[in-house]
Structure 1
C-alpha cells in the first residue's frame, strides 16, 4: 500500500488528477470527490488510477481503519453539490493558479499532517457519507458554523461529528465563482478556530450530490464502424479480504477461480459467486483462507518462515484444498508459490494440470483440476493497509522472447565486430611506379 502524499502542492496535483480521471472515465455512475486531511496520521491509501470509482464499501472499510479506536473530532464540510468539474474549472487548472477559489483549502491541506484524495466516490444517496460517519464514530452530527464553533467547548475525550453545511451555485459562471470562494473562506475560518482551540481533528470535504453527472451514450445509438484506441474494460471485482480483530489479515484476488471435477465436465468459475469466510484464521506464522460456496469449499493454507540463508522471512502457499459432496482433494504447492513475507504473490496462471504450480496429493491421479487466472494472494503484512503490497511475480525475468532477442543482438554484434576487424586489416601499397620517370632500358647483347 502506498503511503499518502503529504502535500507540498496538494491541490494543484489533486486538480490535475481530477481532470485526468474525469476525461478517462466513461462511466454513467454518479460520483462525488472527497478530500480528507487530519492533524494526525491517516492510514495509507493507494493513489487511485485514472477512471477508478471508489465504492461505498471501500470507503467504509477505510473509515473503519481511520476511526477504529479512541475518540475523534471530525469536521464534515458537506456542500450541497460537488463534482470534479468544480475543481478543474475554478481551481486554476485552466490558466493562472492565482485565480483558484480554493486557496484556504489548499492551505489547510498543506498544514495538515497527512491527507488522502478520492477523485471519484460512488454516489447513491445524499446521506451515505453522513450515515457512515455516524456509524463509525457512534455519535450524532452537530450542525455548526464558524461563529457557533468559536464559542463551542469541544470535549476531546469523546468523539465529535461537527457538520458544516455549504451552499452551491445555481446560476452563471460568476455566481459559482463567488459561492465557491465564500465556501473556501468558511473552511479557512473553521480550520483557524480549530487550530486556535488546539483540538486534534480530521476534516472531510465532499458533496451531498454531484453537481454534474457524466452520462454514457448507449452502444445501440452509436455508429457501427472502426474506432481508434477502443478498448473494452471489464468490470473488476473487489478482492476477497479476511479481517481478524478489525484489521485486514488475508487478501486474495483472481480474475477466475475455475474448478472442474473431471476432464469432460465444464469449468465452474467460483469468482462469480460470493463466498463466506467462516473458518479462516491468521497469526504471525500461519494463515488459512477458507472460501465457503454453496457446493464447494476452497481453502488456501500459507506459512511464514525465517530463512537464515537470505536473512529474511518468506511465506509459502503450502496447499490448496477443494471439498465438495463430502469428497476432498489437496493440491500441494510445488515450491514455486512463495514471496517475501512483506510482499504479495502474483501469477498470471496457476493450474494443476499444465505447467502445474499446484500438484495433486492423490496418487491415484484424480480428475479434479484447478485453474486460477491473474492470481494474487497475500497472507501476512496487511495489518496497516487495505491493498496488496508489492507483488513478487512467478514469471522469471529472462523469458524465451528475451533470450531470443539477446542472442539475436549478440549475433549481429559479432558480425559487426568481424566486419570492422576485416576493414581494419586492409593495407594500402607503400610503393608506386612513377610514370614520368625514365623508362628502364635493358641492354641487349648479341
Structure 2
C-alpha cells in the first residue's frame, strides 16, 4: 500500500477524469494560460514505484515516469531520506555565494560515471535545456568557434538556443521566432525511414553530414556537434550502427567537440549508465538531467577538464543551480541505482516490453517498428507499405490505456510513436499487467 493507503495495483473507482479532477480542471482554466498543457486530465495525489493515484482514488500504472524523471521511483526511500535530512539543515544558499559539499559529491559521481578515463569537471544546473545551453557555451569558449551542428528529429529544450536546436516546429517553435544564429541541421541515420534502406543509413547519413560541414560551414568554424545517442522526443530513434562512431571520429579529426545529450537516455535508463556506452563513444561533453535528481530539478554538464576550465570565472552559474536539496536527492538516486541493481533491472524491463510488443505486433500490422534499449522502448505505428505515420492510432491506444488504468506517452516527429518509460523499480507483476492493457488497446483498434 502507498502512504495514503491507496492500492499499488491498477484500480479505477470513478470515470476518468473523476469529479475531483474535473473541479481542479475548472480552477485551472481560470488560473493557468492555455498554452501550458498536460497529457492527462487526472490530478495526482499520491505515487509509488510504478503507479500514480489521482485525487479521486483511481490508481494508474505509470509507463511514463514523468518523462523519464522518476527512474528510481516516486518517493524512492534513499531519495526521500537524503533530501529530507537536507531540508532540516538548509534549503538554499546559492552555490555561487556559499558553496556546500553536496554539490561537490554529485559532480564527483558524474565525473566517475560518465564515459572515459580522462580528467573531468562537472557543473550543475536546473533543467536539461539549461545544461544543453551551457554545454554550447563551454564548447564555444573552448574552441573559439561559433557553429553548432544538430540533427533531424532532435529535441534539446525550449529556451531560445535549445528551441533553435530542436527540430520540430510544432509545438516547440511555432510563433516563437526569430531563432538563434549559427545552428545547422543535418540528417539523422534513422534506419526505419532511411529512403534507400536501413543498411545504407549510417554511410549515407554520414556522407550528408560531411557534405554540409565541409561545403556549407567549414570544419574550422564548427564548435560542436550535439547528438542524442537515442533520440527521445523525436521518436526513440536509435541511430544506425556505426553512425555515431563515424561522427565521433570526424569530430576528433577536425577539433570539433562532440556533445552527447543524455538528458532522457542517461542515468541508467537504457540499462547502462549512459546510452553512449553502447557504441563505446566517449563524448567531450555530456548533458544530464531528468533521472539525475530523483524527481527534483537538477541537471549537469560533464566534460573534459580543459574544456570546462576554459570559461572565465563568473561566466557560468545560476541562482538555483545545484540546489542543495536537489543534490541530496541526486545522491539518493545514484545510490539507489548502484545498490539496488537497477541497471540490470532496466535491461530486464526492456526484454519484457520488447517481447510483449513483439507478440502484439504479430497480429497488429500497424506496428511498423519496435526499438530502443532498456527501460526506453518505442513502437512506431504506421499504415500501408509506404509507412504512413498513424498518430490517430497512437492517440486511440493512449486513450484506451488511460481509461483502463495505464498511462502511456507519445513521441515522434510525426506523433506516431508510443513510448514506454516505466520506472526501473516497477515490478514484473505491474509491468505485465500494463502490457496486457496495451494488448487490449491494440485489439480495440
Bin the TM-score by the shorter chain.
under 0.3
Which has more helix, going by share of residues? 2
Q: TM-score, normalising length from structure 1?
A: 0.25
Q: TM-score, normalising length from structure 2?
A: 0.25
